Amino acid sequence: MSMGSHDKSNRKKHRFIHSFYYAISGIVVAVKAERNIKIHLTLSGVVIIFGFSLSITLMEWLVVLIMVGGMLAAEMMNSAIERVVDLVTEDYHPLAKQAKDIAAGAVLFFAITSVLIGLLIFGPRLIDLFLH
């Protein structure tokens, strides 16, 4: 291996490691700055506690974790889109509004889907718990 290819390999590894740092930094910024992320994290914690308390199955855990991760990712993407739109224009523009509204709508759609799935997974157990 030549010296040049070794340096190139180190640079790639350095960039790869830094990409994790940037991603974690983005998560930290979102959690600190975004009220909705805090709400979703809190609700996710409640759902996880319910999952343990109600002994959901492995398959149900997979679905719950996909929904929790997807919800947090959708909310972060919405926040990123809002910031980019705000960066591009401070003036009102119908396309800027549409971009923000569509991103918010995607989050709402995912949230409603998550609630419906949560009701399917937890509903029968909660009904059973309260009726017996």
71, 75, 107, 121: which is the annotated catalytic residue? 75
What does each C-alpha distance from 12 to 7, 20, 112 come to in angstroms?
9, 13, 41
Half-sphere exposure of 8 (CA within 13 A, CB side): 5
Task: Indicate if 90 belongs to the active site.
Answer: no
Helix (H) or strand (E) segment spanning residue 72: helix 58-88
22 annotated ligand binder: yes
Is residue 118 classed as helix, strand or coil in its secondary structure?
helix
Q: Is 91 annotated as a binding residue?
A: no
8 is in an annotated binding site: no
Residue 60 assigned as binding residue: no
Residue set of the binding site for a divalent metal cation: 34, 82
Residues at the binding site are 22, 34, 75, 82, 100-101
Catalytic residues: 75
Q: Binding site residues for ATP, as ranges? A: 22, 34, 82, 100-101
